[in-house]
Amino acid sequence: MLASWNDGAAKSALTGFVARIADPAGGQYVPPAERIAVFDNDGTLWSEYPLPVQALFVADRVRQLAARDASMRDRQPFKAILEHDHEALHALGKQGLAELLFATHTGMSADEFTGIARAWFASAKHPKLGAIPRQVVFKPQIELLGYLREHGFKNYIVSGGGVDFIRAMAEEHYGIPPEQVIGSSAKLRVESAAGGPVLMKAAEAGSFNDREAKVQNIALHIGRRPVLAFGNSDGDLAMLRYVRAGPGARLALLLHHDDADREAAYDRGFKVSPLAEALDQAAAYGIVVVRMKRDWNTVFF
């Protein structure tokens, strides 16, 4: 049980919390139906360094699409991806990112996208870590998800990543079914077909599930305040504080990536997912900091 977690303050906070809320005789008992745990995904359940896994998917999809449509090689933002031109990509900003996401994630049915994502997960490779997702997910977190499940918790992912992308791997690799994944999304359009309605992924932004939106989407999808939250960046801070602010026993955890040897060392300077306020104010906000170097004896499978 939690074999990859070193004994110490972080592990004790976890096991002590679970023991307290599961003890019907204690004053902090939480009935199983209310044992909801929410996890950020990128940087919390799997590595996001040097780039989020979904960015690798986008790049592979652009290469696939460009192989069929050569004109993409001369058009931004695709050109920048194909030529690994990070400067040009950065200059294209949010508009360029949106175009990349729409071109690779929309204009097909939801079922078709799931098939594409599953096929990618079956063979994708991370530049440093190996097979995606098997060698990119954090072993201590997979143990934690199982530990919570065994104690009656329902685990949710609440991620800034694309909801359909995560759903394509979460059940098999995290034991988290699609209905327990909340993420960013494009709008869906319902089209009539001979056999009945078909859901098409439209090139129109839906929800960008970051910061305050994580709290709004937890309320919309789950409808009650979770008792445990785990994140790793300032994008998770609203969710961590929202969970922590509820009555009774609550636990909020923050993973600090301080292990350059085994994974990566980054926080406030990391543009993809900066960690500053949450780290500086953790004690004041009652958030438990998990230090990869100190608290995990194993990082990957």
Interacting residue ranges for a second copy, rule: CB under 8 A? 33, 36, 110, 154, 163-164, 167, 171, 177-179, 181, 185, 187-188, 190, 193, 195-199, 206, 212, 215-216, 219-224, 238, 241-242, 244-245, 285
Shortest approach of a second copy to residue 263 CB, angstroms? 29
Closest to a second copy by CB, 83 vs 191, is 191
β-pair partners for 181: 157
Max Cα-Cα span within the chain: 68
Closest to a second copy by CB, 178 vs 248, is 178
d(CA 161, CA 147): 25
Shortest approach of a second copy to residue 65 CB, angstroms? 24
Closest to a second copy by CB, 27 vs 195, is 195
Specify the 3-state DSSP secondary structure of 179. Answer: helix
The backbone torsions φ and ψ at residue 254, rounded to the nearest 5 degrees and listed phi first, read -135, 120
d(CA 54, CA 42): 9
Shortest approach of a second copy to residue 74 CB, angstroms? 35
Which alpha helices (DSSP H) does 8-52 contain, by range? 9-22
Kindly list the distances between the CA atom of residue 208 and the CA atoms of 187, 241, 244, in Å, as whole numbers in the listed order.
11, 19, 23
Closest to a second copy by CB, 96 vs 133, is 133
Shortest approach of a second copy to residue 251 CB, angstroms? 14
Cβ–Cβ < 8 Å for 23, 29:
yes
Shortest approach of a second copy to residue 206 CB, angstroms? 8
Closest to a second copy by CB, 137 vs 252, is 252
